Structure 1
């Protein structure tokens, strides 16, 4: 193994506090009579942005939904760059150790600027070689993983994530999947699983 590609939401952090604030602010500004909660986002974290809107706003006019999505992307990025999210236990210490032995990457289903906000607030960008998301490429998570592999000439990467979508993306890219059981999803097929982020050290070191 020469590299580890990470999912972001449910794997490295829980950003729901800021995300809920952003969505509810934008919904109010667009006069959508709906208030979302952290639990609403437990079932949507990691989904493509369009799927999130279909799940959370199924009865809202499509033009309004498009405006809400566009506005929410911007507001989320601002909120997250200013207040961050909840890092899982020992994330920085583990990343620091792993980065001394492997190249680290992030591939997440998010808008452009979201991963940058994660880097900016928490100062963790120094541990990662590269990152990708559909907000920049328009590609699926699986194709973005393949893009990272090709762009960085990776020979034997693994993908760490917490949802069935992450499993499917890893399978699409043809690489092993490590299941982060502490995250948002429930996955029944995986190469390995960890109950805590720091268990990656015992697996990879």
Structure 2
């Protein structure tokens, strides 16, 4: 029985694409990197392929992530939840699930966002320090909650989410409204792929 649902934040719960591109381009200009001009050209690329296309040295990635995260805080009011997400989270909580977030974004940014939107509904919010994968963060969360992989499900929008879940043995629901194209996601064999909030609810029944 599923007890805990782990969500990604950007691209899964909130539509932060335009803000993220704006902030990235500001940082790219500062460090003389290639700016994002057409996001559609990146959607079918892996994370490493995106770094290569944008000519981002891997050694600079932690610095860029840190600076982008700091600037993100000033743009929280420009970010909106995807349609139906607020209602989804409230309903899942009512159904008896524990809710958590693992994100490359900072815990403080995410908590402040939900505080501003009067939706303090997540018990645990964790930052994944490894931009390439979240398996360590997921394992840490399972250990702290004393849960087995079959008691957890993940909801995300990126290939790296799928790979992390497959390594650990937890099921994943991939949404088609996020950062990676649904075609790329399906090629990596998620347990479920959905195009609406209602489909998530149909996968997760009453748990009370």
- What TM-score range do you get, normalising by the shorter chain? 0.7 to 0.9
The answer for the alignment partner of 1:94 in structure 2 is 88
> 2:176, 2:56 → 1: CA distance?
32
Partner SS for 2:197 = coil
Q: What stretches of structure 2 of length at least 5 have no aligned partner?
A: none
Q: What stretches of structure 1 of length at least 5 have no aligned partner?
A: none
Q: Is 1:176 matched with 2:174?
A: no
Q: TM-score, normalising length from structure 1?
A: 0.77
> 1:73, 1:12 → 2: CA distance?
17
Q: Equivalent of 2:122, from 117, 123, 128?
A: 128
* CA distances 1:33-74 after superposition (whole Å, capped 9, x unpaired): 744246169639995xxx5983464167967x7765443221
> 2:162, 2:58 → 1: CA distance?
32
Relative distance call for 1:138 and 1:13 in structure 2 (3 A) is closer
Relative distance call for 1:12 and 1:41 in structure 2 (3 A) is farther
> 2:46, 2:109 → 1: CA distance?
12
Q: TM-score, normalising length from structure 2?
A: 0.76
Report the RMSD for the aligned CA atoms in angstroms: 3.3
The answer for the alignment partner of 1:26 in structure 2 is 27
Relative distance call for 1:112 and 1:202 in structure 2 (3 A) is closer
> 2:103, 2:56 → 1: CA distance?
27
Equivalent residues, number: 196
The answer as to whether partners of 2:33 and 2:54 remain within 8 angstroms in 1 is no
Q: After TM superposition, give the deviation of residue 130 of structure 1 in Å.
A: 0.3
> 1:132, 1:191 → 2: CA distance?
23
Relative distance call for 1:190 and 1:69 in structure 2 (3 A) is closer
Q: Is 1:144 matched with 2:140?
A: no
> 2:57, 2:158 → 1: CA distance?
27
> 1:77, 1:52 → 2: CA distance?
27
